[in-house]
């Protein structure tokens, strides 16, 4: 299997094919014209932090200060050859729009011709994603930029509304204010800019008027082959949207010369040599593979950083020090809660309230793997009813996750208000309904709306967080739970994930979490929210098993008094018919037969009153296993206790 991707034979074959194609294919001029851009999945561009939305390029992500981004056309452009004696010419037109997100906005964006399409590290703020403090001003051939600057961030910078021509740095060899051209970059003006290079003069037009005209030989400053694109940045405290609405580029072919025929021979030789080396290497590789099969299996584990950073959309990486400062050294006073193996602290980072989860126990390799998958997978889920993972930090034994802060805490604190005296915190029925719908939408997204299916496996009131407007946000993708599980695999193989009282009956038999068992837990949650009771079925402090909420509601349903289950603290302030169908929905989700439970899609339709609540039999159906007449494959995801290397179970579709 590995042979197909890794073997030297494949490499040799590739080299051979390359030599067959490159010299024969005519050198084509680079020419493209986007009046709007396709979506993120396009292979036309290489992107770092930048993305495409609604047909426009966003060079830097919205609202995030201290960021840089870059997007380049994937095919490179041959700018000159034969040591600069043959030069290309090009004209490119782009329409840009800068939308301020802070006042004043910052920092700016640039059209670039760059040797490396990748974004330099630490290039936020004044560096405009063009260079960083180390590469600024270096004499090596690297990057030429036409900057559109919205912030005067260092003394040589002209003002906060100018165009500049930058060579291998952010220092502008020429800069012109835009105010004289009737353009205010910070006023969301739609600006049409054109850059024209004829081999010896470079001209920048804004709104069809020449802004910069410079006699310059780009071959002195840039390598023969460059990438064209855009970069941009936001500042420490200043942010803006850097958008490109359309872009065309026409680079003229620089013709064929004797030069090319030499390359034919060079490539031909390389191809043949490659093939010979490939065959020799293949034989050697086969031998070595037989010898060291086990050895190789343990090698090549990427570090946490590498594993996370391969994914360019990963959440922000913070420094542990920053988070220590943000939480005042994990001060007790900032503690928001503790669950299993992680403690959550409130913090203040760059004037933004955050919640920091600190893994506080021994870190095993499974925990590391789980941490990586939390950051790369959960970090890429975006839904307004999911708690957002903002970033992460790791150094030494310190593993930290940064989430958005939820001012209203978790749902259990509000719904099961054990303290009878504080009646003020009892929440209204409309709010409760909105919370139930929010959780349903989040779960539906996890089950079928995102790229990979995700099972939450631990839906319960304490994992539902509430934002300032009491919108529900599903959180805690099981960090604490999985760590616990990982630690206990040595002691017990019958290790069930989830929380008692929320676990579907079949889990105890199959040991598997399924989409249906998530629906069951959701059903219990619905009942709790309506009734204001804990799920029950567990032992309380005095050792009495409390009555399970499910039996209780079924009994009330049986005697036709379903509405009596409503939380008395609502004081009857609700629409009876609504209460009735939500309770029925809760019961339906908890059907003992997993295949009779509605899907989350159905649940959303019921909540949206598009379809009626499912019919219920008068008595609670008995539990039978295996379920009678279920033809479905059961959509099993994972056998608990055998695989614990991810926080959240995921399968492809």
Residues that bind ligand NAG (CB under 6 A): 33, 35, 39-40, 51-53, 66, 121-122, 124, 126, 132, 134, 136-137, 154, 156, 169-171, 179, 184, 186-187, 198-201, 215, 236, 248, 250, 313, 350
The dihedral sign for the CA sequence 450, 453, 456, 461: positive
Q: Classify 342 as helix, strand or coil.
A: strand
Minimal distance, residue 473 CB to ligand NAG, in Å: 18
Nearer to ligand NAG, 325 or 564 (CB): 325
Q: 288-300: buried (b, 16+ CB within 10 Å) or exposed (e) per residue?
A: eeeeeeeeeeeee
> By the 8 A CB rule, do 332 and 325 touch?
no
Residue 71's CB is within 10 A of a number of other CB atoms, namely 29
What is the CB neighbour count within 10 angstroms for residue 313?
13
**Distance between CA 10 and CA 16 in Å, rounded?**
10
* Rounded Cα gap, residues 8 and 281, in angstroms: 6
- At 314 the three-state DSSP class reads coil
Q: Which is nearer to ligand NAG, 118 or 134 (CB)?
A: 134
Minimum separation from the CB atom of position 39 to ligand NAG (A): 4
**Shorter beta-carbon distance to ligand NAG: residue 157 or 516:** 157
CA atoms within 13 A on the CB side of 114: 26
Based on CB atoms, which residue is closest to ligand NAG, 312 or 645? 312
615 phi and psi angles, rounded to 5 deg: -70, 140
Q: How far is the CB of 64 from ligand NAG (least distance, A)?
A: 10
| Backbone φ and ψ of 555, nearest 5° | -60, -45
Q: Minimum distance between the CB of residue 14 and ligand NAG, rounded to whole angstroms?
A: 31
Kindly calculate the radius of gyration of the chain based on its CA atoms and give it in whole angstroms: 30
Assign 3-state DSSP to the chain and report helix, strand, coil percentages, each to 5.
30, 25, 45
Distance CA 488, CA 477 (A): 19
**Comparison of 236 and 569: residue with beta carbon closer to ligand NAG:** 236
Give catalytic residue positions. 458
Determine the residue with CB nearest ligand NAG: 137
| CB 343 to ligand NAG: min, Å | 24
- Least distance CB 368 / ligand NAG (angstroms): 21
Nearer to ligand NAG, 214 or 540 (CB): 214
User: Is 96:184 a contact under the CB 8 Å cutoff?
Assistant: no
Nearer of residues 145 and 427 to ligand NAG, judged by Cβ: 145
Integer CA distances (angstroms), 231 to 57, 129, 149, 226, 277, in order? 11, 5, 12, 14, 40
Residue 445 exposure: Cα atoms within 13 Å on the Cβ side: 16
- Following CA atoms 390, 437, 410, 471 in sequence, which dihedral angle do they give, to the nearest 10 degrees? 60
Report, in Å, the least distance between residue 184 CB and ligand NAG. Answer: 4
Quote the least distance from Cβ 110 to ligand NAG, whole Å: 14
Output 62 or 555, the one with its CB closest to ligand NAG. 62
**Number of residues that this document lists for the chain:** 653
- Which residue in 637, 615, 430, 439 sits closest to 519, CA to CA? 439
Q: Quick check: 97 and 116 in contact, CB under 8 A?
A: no
Q: Tell whether 357 is in a known binding site.
A: yes
In 81-234, which residue ranges form alpha helices assigned H by DSSP?
Answer: 218-221
For residues 371 and 482, give the distance between their C-alpha atoms in angstroms, rounded to a whole number. 10
Tell me if residue 247 falls in helix, strand or coil: strand
- Numbered residues of the known binding site for ATP: 357
């Amino acid at each position: 299997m590995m042979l197909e991707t890794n073997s030297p034979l494949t490499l040799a074959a590739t080299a051979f094919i390359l030599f067959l194609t490159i010299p024969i294919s005519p050198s084509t001029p680079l020419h493209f014209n986007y009046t709007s851009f396709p979506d993120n999945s396009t292979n036309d561009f290489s992107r770092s932090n930048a993305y495409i939305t609604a047909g426009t390029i966003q060079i830097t992500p919205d609202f995030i200060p201290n960021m840089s981004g870059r997007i380049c056309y994937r095919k490179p452009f041959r700018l000159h050859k034969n040591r600069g004696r043959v030069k290309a010419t090009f004209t490119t037109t782009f329409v840009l729009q800068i939308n301020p997100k802070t006042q004043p906005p910052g920092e700016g964006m640039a059209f670039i011709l760059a040797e490396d399409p990748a974004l330099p590290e630490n290039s936020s703020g004044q560096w405009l994603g063009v260079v960083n403090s180390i590469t600024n001003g270096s004499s090596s051939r690297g990057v030429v930029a036409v900057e559109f600057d919205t912030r005067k961030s260092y003394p040589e910078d002209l003002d906060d509304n100018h165009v500049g021509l930058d060579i291998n740095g952010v220092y502008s060899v020429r800069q012109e204010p835009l105010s004289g051209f009737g353009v205010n970059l910070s006023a969301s003006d739609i600006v049409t800019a054109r850059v024209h290079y004829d081999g010896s003069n470079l001209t920048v037009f804004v709104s069809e008027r020449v802004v910069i005209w410079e006699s310059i030989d780009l071959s002195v400053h840039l390598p023969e082959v460059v990438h064209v694109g855009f970069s941009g940045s936001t500042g420490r405290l200043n942010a803006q949207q850097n958008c490109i609405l359309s872009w065309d580029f026409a680079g003229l072919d620089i013709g064929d010369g004797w030069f090319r025929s030499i390359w034919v021979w060079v490539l031909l030789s390389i191809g043949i040599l490659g093939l010979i080396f490939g065959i020799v290497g293949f034989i050697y590789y086969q031998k070595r593979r037989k010898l060291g099969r086990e050895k190789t299996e343990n090698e090549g584990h990427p570090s946490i950083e590498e594993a996370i950073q391969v994914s360019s959309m990963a959440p922000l990486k913070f420094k542990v020090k920053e988070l220590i400062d943000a939480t005042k050294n994990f001060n007790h006073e900032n503690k928001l809660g503790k669950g299993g193996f992680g403690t959550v602290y409130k913090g203040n980072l760059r004037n933004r309230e955050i919640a920091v989860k600190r893994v506080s126990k021994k870190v095993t390799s499974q925990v590391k793997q789980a941490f990586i998958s939390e950051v790369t997978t959960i970090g890429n889920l975006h839904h307004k009813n999911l708690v957002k993972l903002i970033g992460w930090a790791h150094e030494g034994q310190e593993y930290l996750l940064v989430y958005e802060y939820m001012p209203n805490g978790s749902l259990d604190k509000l719904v099961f208000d054990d303290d009878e005296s504080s009646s003020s915190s009892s929440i209204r029925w409309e709010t409760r309904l909105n919370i139930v719908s929010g959780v349903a939408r989040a779960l539906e997204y996890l089950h079928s709306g995102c790229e990979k299916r995700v099972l939450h496996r631990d839906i319960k009131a304490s994992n539902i967080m509430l934002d300032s407007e009491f919108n529900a946000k599903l959180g805690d993708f099981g960090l604490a739970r999985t760590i616990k599980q990982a630690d206990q695999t040595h002691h017990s193989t019958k290790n069930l994930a989830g929380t008692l009282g929320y676990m579907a009956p079949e889990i105890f038999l199959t040991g598997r979490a399924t989409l249906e068992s998530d629906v069951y837990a959701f059903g219990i949650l619905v009942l709790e929210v309506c009734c204001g009771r804990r799920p029950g079925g567990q032992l309380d402090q005095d050792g009495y098993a409390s009555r399970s909420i499910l039996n209780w509601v079924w009994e009330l349903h049986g005697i036709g008094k379903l509405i009596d289950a409503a939380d008395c603290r609502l004081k009857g302030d609700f629409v009876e018919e609504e209460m009735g169908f939500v309770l029925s929905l809760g019961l339906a989700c908890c059907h003992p037969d997993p295949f009779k439970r509605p899907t989350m899609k159905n649940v959303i339709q019921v909540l949206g009153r598009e379809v009626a609540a499912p019919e219920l039999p008068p008595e609670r159906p008995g539990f039978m296993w295996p379920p009678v007449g279920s033809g479905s494959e059961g959509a099993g995801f994972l056998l608990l206790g055998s695989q614990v290397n991810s926080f959240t179970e995921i399968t492809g579709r």
